[in-house]
Amino acid sequence: MTIRPITIHGEPVLHRRAAEVETIDGEIRQLVEDMYQTMDAAHGVGLAAPQIGVGLRIFTYAYPDSGAVPPRGVLINPALRLIGKVSRNPPDPDEETEGCLSVPGYGFPLTRSGHVEVSGLDLDGTVRRFEATGWFARIMQHEYDHLDGYLYVNRLDQKWTRRWKKTMKKEGWTEPGNTWMPGVDTDPFGHDGTED
């Protein structure tokens, strides 16, 4: 298992649709193990393959409040369907602020559906299908977006988009080549020195 560098906004693999996985073989199993290792080292609740520079439709997640769904898993070639409508009200900065390992150190409010259905393959090639609600539903939407070439900052409303664009320019995240290394670089979300 290997911890891999996390790509930052501006890297082309983050901004294009990822390819379907054709065969779940040893290479894919190793990739998924690396994704788990990287996600854990970064203190993330999810990680999509494009975030480590691999343009395949795979994401891992780890979230203890997942209800009847296993709190840790992988979905390969997933599909996602919104069940709950997305509110047209402005997002609540106290309750709806998201972060992303590929936008390290920042968070912006975003309104999402509170109820989704997700399906995809596990590492054995078995179809997994479940519903997710609340913050778990948000995680599923966030990771699924990565596979279609969207970061959550691409979905912000006008007010927060303006703030994001200023941040993006300040950080230099308009060009490829930026990464950070979990466990080596200072944790951009302040997890250094804290217990998991």
Helix, coil or strand: residue 170: helix
Query: Using CA atoms, how far apart are residues 20 and 34, in angstroms rounded to an integer?
Result: 19
Tell me how far the alpha carbon of residue 121 is from its chain's centroid.
17
Residues 6 or more apart in contact with residue 51 via CB below 8 angstroms? 6, 7, 14, 101, 102, 146
Instruction: Report the run of H or E that residue 74 belongs to, with start and end.
Output: strand 72-82
Per the CB < 8 A criterion, the answer to whether 62 and 41 are in contact is: no
Active-site residues, by number, are 143
Per the CB < 8 A criterion, the answer to whether 120 and 75 are in contact is: yes
Per DSSP, what are the bridge partners of residue 74? 60
- Residue 43: other Cβ atoms inside 10 A: 16
Spatial CA neighbour of 110 closest among 155, 44, 45: 155
Q: Which two tokens stand for residue 31?
A: 């990739």
The per-residue DSSP string of 78-99 comes to: EEEEE-SPPP-SPP-TTT-EEE
